[in-house]
Amino acid sequence: LAKTTQPISMDSYEGQEVNITCSHNNIATNDYITWYQQFPSQGPRFIIQGYKTKVTNEVASLFIPADRKSSTLSLPRVSLSDTAVYYCLVAPYSGNTPLVFGKGTRLSVIA
């Protein structure tokens, strides 16, 4: 499984756009990039998944450059309720190995 590296923590003010970058230098050809969000005392929640270029949904955007060695989760106009831990995962779409979560990025949104 490709190893991922992301910042341990980030701070942002309400209303700002937040970009969290994940590095995955040894991503494999059949790997997808998936982001999860976790609030305290709850299980992680799927946010977005992509393979290349840009993916957007009602919650976030995911930018993946051509070499796919990194990806950036973009949260538009964050609010206090976006304070959470964000995990970047790299794995085959439907593989035989379990999903491994790293330490994630703790985002703190300040009023």
Contacts with another protein by CB under 8 A lie at 34, 36, 41-46, 49, 87, 91-104
Residue 17 tokens read as 């756009």
- Considering the complex, state which of residue 63 and residue 101 has its C-beta at the smaller distance from another protein: 101
68: enclosing H helix or E strand: none
| CB half-sphere exposure, 58, CA atoms < 13 A | 0
Minimum Å gap between C-beta 88 and another protein is 13
Minimum Å gap between C-beta 12 and another protein is 22
- Considering the complex, state which of residue 8 and residue 111 has its C-beta at the smaller distance from another protein: 8
Instruction: Please state, in angstroms and rounded to a whole number, the distance separating the CA atoms of residues 58 and 43.
Output: 20
Minimum Å gap between C-beta 4 and another protein is 13
- Considering the complex, state which of residue 40 and residue 111 has its C-beta at the smaller distance from another protein: 40
45-50 vs 31-38, strand pairing mode: antiparallel
Q: Is residue 81 classed as helix, strand or coil in its secondary structure?
A: helix
